[in-house]
Amino acid sequence: DIQLTQSPSSLSASIGDRVTITCRASQTISIYLNWYQQKPGKAPTLLIYAASSLQSGVPSRFSGSGSGTDFTLTISSLQPEDFASYYCQQSYITPRTFGQGTKVEIK
Amino acid sequence: QVQLVQSGSELKKPGASVQVSCKASGYTFTRYGMNWVRQAPGQGLEWMGWINTNTGNPTYAQGFTGRFVFSLDTSVSTAYLQISSLEAEDTAVYYCARGDSSGCDHWGQGTLVTISS
């Protein structure tokens, strides 16, 4: 199975900060990497698919990059509604594993 | 609009079985696969597997074989997750999510399954 390692596991940031979360795959997955946001008590929502494609309706402050084994999710200017947990997922091959998650908290 | 509506919370005893349903609307059901994802209390997301809604062929992740069964009723655009021989460790929120190699773009609201004697 492909393992996804996210870093950091948690971070504290302020409104307006630029935030970067990384996701490393244990083997190459081309661009088959997706990012999700999850708020407490809610289902996840898709932010980015195919490494860098913004899902419809997602604010442009979210962006994704990378290919192969190393990927990044960036929030260009953190907003109050962005405090949540973020997960990467590979869809290159089954099982479509998730990373362990990154919790973004208010500083 | 696309909607996935799951059945309500369940409280079960160890050894019992449970079925979670996921009713889809707003799109052609057989055009997208259906994934199942588990989230134990305070934990991350765990991909359980998916079912091809066109062929009915399920694929299970390791750790979700044997007691877990994915099925469909395409006549009512509904996917099902059945778990048998429930254990305390099965306590979790279970999500259905529409998607394929481009990620899961629509999710059900989640179904909390609690196992307690």
| pLDDT tens for each residue of A70-100 | 999 999 999 999 999 999 999 999 999 999 9
Q: Which residues of chain A have pLDDT under 50?
A: none
Contact A36 B105 (CB under 8 A): no
Return the ∠ at Cα B112 (arms to B8 and A101), rounded to 5°.
135
Can you name the residues that pair with A10 across neighbouring β-strands? A103
Q: What is the pLDDT of residue A49?
A: 98
| Alpha-carbon span A74 to B41, nearest angstrom | 27
* A46-77 core/surface letters (b: 16 or more CB in 10 A; e: else): bbbbbbbeebeebeeebbbebeebebbbebee
Sign of the dihedral defined by the CA atoms of residues A100, A91, A29, A88, in that order: negative
Task: Calculate how close chain B gets to A96, using CA atoms only, in Å.
Answer: 6
Please state, in angstroms and as integers, the Cα–Cα distance from residue B4 to each residue in A86, A104, B26, B34, following that order.
Answer: 22, 27, 9, 10
Contact A98 B47 (CB under 8 A): yes
Asked if A7 contacts A32 with a C-beta cutoff of 8 angstroms, the reply is no
Q: Which residues of chain B have pLDDT under 70?
A: none
Q: What is the pLDDT of residue B101?
A: 86
| Alpha-carbon span B106 to B103, nearest angstrom | 9
Contact B101 A1 (CB under 8 A): no
Burial environment of residue A9 by CB neighbours within 10 A (0 to 12, 13 to 18, 19 or more): exposed
Q: What is the pLDDT of residue B100?
A: 87
Asked if A86 contacts A21 with a C-beta cutoff of 8 angstroms, the reply is yes
Instruction: Sort out which chain B residues have CB atoms less than 8 A from A91's CB and list them.
Output: 99-103
Task: Calculate how close chain A gets to B49, using CA atoms only, in Å.
Answer: 7
Q: Give the best residue of B6, B32, B39, B45 to mutate against chain A (max A CB count within 10 A).
A: B45
Q: What is the pLDDT of residue A67?
A: 98
Burial environment of residue B46 by CB neighbours within 10 A (0 to 12, 13 to 18, 19 or more): middle
Residue A19: CB atoms within 10 A of its CB come to 19
Q: What is the pLDDT of residue B23?
A: 98
For residue B13, the SS3 value is: coil
Instruction: Sort out which chain B residues have CB atoms less than 8 A from A85's CB and list them.
Output: 44
